[in-house]
A and B are shown apart, each in its own frame.
Chain A
C-alpha cells in the first residue's frame, strides 16, 4: 500500500513529461484510462464493463443515446459516484476518486451542462472559490486569471459580476474555474446546448488550444456535426456498454449514428409542402414582462398558418418560454393581442384556451416540471388536461387508460405499464408521453418547446415525424428548438428571437445557419444582408 501511495504522489511529473515529449506517449500513458468500469443502480446496470481512454493532447467525444451511461461514467470520473467494479487510471496510476475534491486534486475538471456559479459574485471570486490556500489580493488573482486566459485565448473580465454575464461568458468562467485549479483533464457535458453557432465555434477554438497545450478533453454532445468537427476519436456507448472507439477522421454522421443506435437510421427530415393555408394564430404588438418586471417579450408580431411549422430560434432565455406561456394564458401580457381565428386569447384562462384547441407542450430543462406529473402513471397524466370534461364530481379513468395504451403502442413507448410513475421512464419516453397526449387532444395549434431536449437521435426523429404528421393534418405547429440544423430542415419559416425581440423571420429553405446565428446575436435582418453584401 505504501508504495502505492508514492506512485500516486509523483503523477504530476508524468503529465509534464507527457506534455512535452511525444516519446512518453508512445508508451501510451493515457490521461484517463477506464478499465471494465461497472456501476449498478439497484438492478439496473448503468455502466457495464466500460473501457475508455484519453491521451494527453487529445479530444475524445463521448457519444451515446439517452440512458447509455455517459453521465454516470463522467460522474464517476468526477467523484460523484463510486464504481462498483473496474479501475480508473489517471496518468497511468490506479486511483480511487471519492469526491469532487479528489477529482480536482487529480487534475480532473468537470464543466456541467448547468452552470454552477454564484450569480452575485464576480468572475474571479467564482474562479477562486473552493481553492485552498491563502487569500490573495484581488489584483494578484486578477493577474493570474488574465495570464491563464491569455494562454488559452479566453476572453474574460475578472471584475465582472456573473449575473451580468451572457451564457457564453458564464461558460468561460466555468472553464477558467477548472483551469485555475490546474486541471489537465477536462470533461464537458453538452457544452454547446446553450450557445449560438458563433459562440460554439469560439468554444471549439479554445478547446483546440487547450489540446495543443497538452490537455486531455472529453466532450459529451448529441450534435453529430460538432463531434465530427472537434474530436480526434469518438467512443460510443450503447446501453451501458462501450461499443467501439473510432478515429473521427474515418467516420461520418451516418456511421456514428449507426454505431450509436445499433442499426442504420435515416437522417433525413422530410419537409412536406402544404398548400398555402389561412392564418390561424396572429400575434400583434405583444409585450410581456417577467415576474420581476424586466421585459421578456418586446413588441413582437407574427403569424402562424395552418399546415405550417414555424421554427423559433434563439439563444436560451430570449423570451421563448414567456411567449409560450403567454399564448397558453399562463402569463399576462402588457400590450398587444393574440388572435386565434380573429378572437383575442389574451385575458382568457388557461382552461378556456385549451378548450379552443391551442395546445402547448413545453419541455423544461428538467423535462418533467410542467407538462407531466412525475409521480403519476401514464393514465393519470393523460387526464391532466381533460379531467374536467366528464360530468359529475367523479373522474373516469377508463378512456384515459385506453388512450395511454394506444399511445404506448403507437409511439412505441417502453414502460412496464400504464400505472408506472412517469418519472421512472427514460427521457425519450417521457417526452413521447407528453407530446402524444398533446397530439391526441387534436389541437388546432400545437406549440412545442424543446421537444427533443436531451433526446437521442432515434427518439428525436420519432418526434420530428410526429410533428410532420400534425402538419399534414393542417395543424399549425410552432416549434421552439435548439439545434439550428434541425430547425433549418424541419420548419417552413424560422423566426429568430433575441432579448424578446424578433430579429427576423426567414424562409427556412433558403436561410443558412450563419445567417440565423447572426440574427440570434441581435443583428436584425437588414444588418445581416448588409454585411453579406459588404
Chain B
C-alpha cells in the first residue's frame, strides 16, 4: 500500500457530464460558438494586418452584393448541398460513407459519357438519361463498399476512401486517353460539352438549384415519414434491434448506400453538366469531404443542411473576394474557415460536458480538522 504517495488534492479541472440540455439552450450555445469564432477569426485577421470588420463585411457583401455574386454563391452551394444530403442518408444508418468524393466523380463520369457521345439526342431525353446515369454511377460507387460490408464485414471507412482515388484516376485516364479532346492539340482535357448536353438555366443559374431544393424536401419526408426512413434510423441505432424486429438489415444497408451514393452522383452530374460544362479531375474538388462536415453540423437534418451549406458557400465565395480585393491569400481564408469550424465543432463538447473547477479548499480542510 502506497499511502505515502496519496495526495489530498482534487484536480484543478475536471470534466463532468451534463444533463441533456433543452434544444433552445443548445441552439444558444451554438450561436455563442459562432460569435466566439468570429472574434477569434477577427484576432487572426488583425494579426495579418487587416481590419476584421472590413474583412467580415467584405465576405458578406462579396457573396451577396450583386445578382452575379449571389449566383456565384449558389453555384458553389448546389453540389455541396446535394452531396451533404447524400452522405446524410448513410450517416443516419451509421455507415461511415466518406466516399462522397468518389461517388460525385463517378456519377459525373457516367453522365459525361452520354454528354460526349450522345449529344445529338433530343435535349430533354438526353438530360433525363444523364440524370439517370449520374445517379446509377454514384449509386454503384456507393453500393460497392456496402456489398463488401454486408458480405465480409469490411471496413467501410477505408473502402469508401480508397474508391475516391480510384474514381479520380479513372477520370485522369479518360482525360489523357480515350476521351481526350482532339481539338486541344495534345493538351490533356476533355472537350467542352455540346450546348445540347448542358443543363438549362433558371433565373440565371443552372437549374440544379431547383433539384437540390426538391431533394431537401424529398429527403426530409423520406427520413421522417416513410417505412424505409424508419428502417434506416433503427439500423443506425442498433443492428440487433433491427434484426429482432424482423428487418432485413443487409437489404437495408445495400439500398441505403445505393441511394446515398446515387444522390452524390447526381451532385457530380449537375456540377459537370451545369457548372463546368466539361469533366475535369476537380469536378468534386473536396466537396465530398466538406459535405461530411456540413451534414454533421446540421445534425443530419435536411433543412439545417440547406442553411449550413448556404453559409459555407457564402464563406467560400466571400473568401475569394477578399483575396482579390485585399490581396489576402486563399490560405488565410482557409485558416479563417478552420477557426470557425473549430469553434462550432468544439461547442458540441460543451453541449454534453462541462468543466468543473476545484472548489475552495479552505472550508473543507477546516471541516476535516474538526472531525
Q: Which residues of A contact B (CB under 8 A)?
A: 1, 3-5, 7-9, 11-12, 41-44, 82, 87, 89, 92-96, 98, 102, 105-107, 132, 181-182, 328-330, 349-354, 360, 362, 369-376, 380, 383-385, 387-388, 393-395, 424
Are A8 and B230 touching (Cβ within 8 A)?
no
Whether a CB of chain A sits under 8 angstroms from the CB of B331 is no
A107: which B residues are within 8 A, CB to CB? 1
A387: which B residues are within 8 A, CB to CB? 227, 230-231
Shortest B245–chain A CB gap in Å is: 5
The list of the 4 closest CB pairs from A to B, nearest first, reads A42-B19, A351-B246, A94-B368, A350-B246
Whether a CB of chain A sits under 8 angstroms from the CB of B204 is no
Shortest A315–chain B CB gap in Å is: 23
Are B2 and A371 touching (Cβ within 8 A)?
no
B365: which A residues are within 8 A, CB to CB? 1, 4
Shortest A390–chain B CB gap in Å is: 8
B1: which A residues are within 8 A, CB to CB? 12, 105, 107, 181-182
Are A373 and B20 touching (Cβ within 8 A)?
no
Shortest A99–chain B CB gap in Å is: 9
Shortest B22–chain A CB gap in Å is: 11
A92: which B residues are within 8 A, CB to CB? 371
Whether a CB of chain A sits under 8 angstroms from the CB of B93 is no
With A41-B17, A105-B2 as given contacts, are A89 and B371 in contact (CB-CB < 8 Å)?
A: yes
Give 1 or 0 for each of B223-246: 1 = CB within 8 Å of chain A CB.
001111111011001101101111
Q: What are 25 inter-chain pairs, A to B, with CB distance below 8 A?
A: A4-B365, A4-B368, A7-B368, A8-B6, A9-B6, A41-B17, A42-B20, A82-B356, A93-B368, A96-B10, A98-B11, A107-B1, A330-B244, A360-B244, A370-B240, A370-B241, A371-B241, A373-B234, A376-B233, A380-B230, A384-B241, A393-B227, A394-B225, A395-B226, A424-B20
The listed residue with most A CB atoms (<10 A of its CB), out of B14, B238, B243, B368, is B368
Measured CB to CB, the nearest residue on chain A to B361 is: A1
In the bound complex, what is the Cα–Cα distance between A354 and B247 (angstroms)?
A: 11
Are B367 and A87 touching (Cβ within 8 A)?
yes
In the bound complex, what is the Cα–Cα distance between A362 and B16 (angstroms)?
A: 33
In the bound complex, what is the Cα–Cα distance between A387 and B248 (angstroms)?
A: 13
In the bound complex, what is the Cα–Cα distance between A132 and B14 (angstroms)?
A: 25
Give 1 or 0 for each of B336-371: 1 = CB within 8 Å of chain A CB.
000000000000000000001000010011011101
Are B245 and A385 touching (Cβ within 8 A)?
yes
In the bound complex, what is the Cα–Cα distance between A508 and B66 (angstroms)?
A: 84
Whether a CB of chain A sits under 8 angstroms from the CB of B324 is no
In the bound complex, what is the Cα–Cα distance between A3 and B369 (angstroms)?
A: 9
The listed residue with most A CB atoms (<10 A of its CB), out of B6, B9, B229, is B6
Are A41 and B368 touching (Cβ within 8 A)?
no
Are A373 and B6 touching (Cβ within 8 A)?
no
With A41-B17, A373-B237, A383-B230 as given contacts, are A105 and B367 in contact (CB-CB < 8 Å)?
A: no
Shortest A362–chain B CB gap in Å is: 8
A330: which B residues are within 8 A, CB to CB? 243-244
A102: which B residues are within 8 A, CB to CB? 6
Whether a CB of chain A sits under 8 angstroms from the CB of B47 is no
Are B244 and A370 touching (Cβ within 8 A)?
yes
In the bound complex, what is the Cα–Cα distance between A28 and B349 (angstroms)?
A: 45
Measured CB to CB, the nearest residue on chain A to B231 is: A387
Task: Apart from A41-B19, A354-B246, A376-B237, list 6 A-B contacts with CB within 8 A.
Answer: A8-B3, A9-B4, A41-B17, A98-B10, A375-B237, A384-B241
Are B238 and A369 touching (Cβ within 8 A)?
yes
A93: which B residues are within 8 A, CB to CB? 368
Shortest A85–chain B CB gap in Å is: 9
In the bound complex, what is the Cα–Cα distance between A165 and B219 (angstroms)?
A: 52
B18: which A residues are within 8 A, CB to CB? 42
Are B240 and A9 touching (Cβ within 8 A)?
no
The listed residue with most B CB atoms (<10 A of its CB), out of A3, A94, A102, is A94
Are B8 and A96 touching (Cβ within 8 A)?
yes
Measured CB to CB, the nearest residue on chain A to B246 is: A351
Pick from B227, B238, B367: contact of A394, CB below 8 A: B227
B245: which A residues are within 8 A, CB to CB? 350-351, 354, 384-385
With A350-B246, A385-B246 as given contacts, are A105 and B6 in contact (CB-CB < 8 Å)?
A: yes
A96: which B residues are within 8 A, CB to CB? 8-10
The listed residue with most A CB atoms (<10 A of its CB), out of B11, B233, B238, B356, is B238
In the bound complex, what is the Cα–Cα distance between A7 and B368 (angstroms)?
A: 10
Pick from B14, B225, B238: contact of A370, CB below 8 A: B238
Are A4 and B237 touching (Cβ within 8 A)?
no
In the bound complex, what is the Cα–Cα distance between A11 and B371 (angstroms)?
A: 14
Are B4 and A369 touching (Cβ within 8 A)?
no
In the bound complex, what is the Cα–Cα distance between A329 and B6 (angstroms)?
A: 55
In the bound complex, what is the Cα–Cα distance between A384 and B19 (angstroms)?
A: 27
Pick from A9, A43, A385, A395: contact of B3, CB below 8 A: A9
With A328-B244, A395-B226 as given contacts, are A384 and B369 in contact (CB-CB < 8 Å)?
A: no
Measured CB to CB, the nearest residue on chain A to B240 is: A370
Are B244 and A350 touching (Cβ within 8 A)?
yes
Measured CB to CB, the nearest residue on chain B to A99 is: B11
B238: which A residues are within 8 A, CB to CB? 369-370, 373-374
Measured CB to CB, the nearest residue on chain A to B10 is: A96
In the bound complex, what is the Cα–Cα distance between A362 and B367 (angstroms)?
A: 50
Measured CB to CB, the nearest residue on chain A to B226 is: A393
